[in-house]
Amino acid sequence: MVMDGITARSTKVLAGINTNWGDTARFSRITVYGSATICEKYRGVPKGSEPTKIGEGADGVNCLYSSSDITYR
């Protein structure tokens, strides 16, 4: 997934991905009003089950962004 030039308001999380399935999320030119988690990482499971959250934030592998890509207002 690629998010570029996004303004986020009234949200808790911009993206949630399943790292064990090779999902990636790339963010650039993001403006967040208030606070939000940019990227949450999960261990994906078969359909009908709930995935387990295993982390959040940029990691250079699955959640791709740097602090200069995100502006908080």
Cβ contacts of residue 34 below 8 Å, gap of 6+?
9, 10
Q: What is the pTM of this model?
A: 0.89
* pLDDT tens, residue by residue, 47-67: 888 999 999 999 999 999 999
Q: Tell me the domain boundaries of the chain.
A: 2-72
Per-residue confidence (pLDDT) for residue 46, from 0 to 100: 86
Residue recorded with tokens 């399943």: 18
Per-residue confidence (pLDDT) for residue 47, from 0 to 100: 86
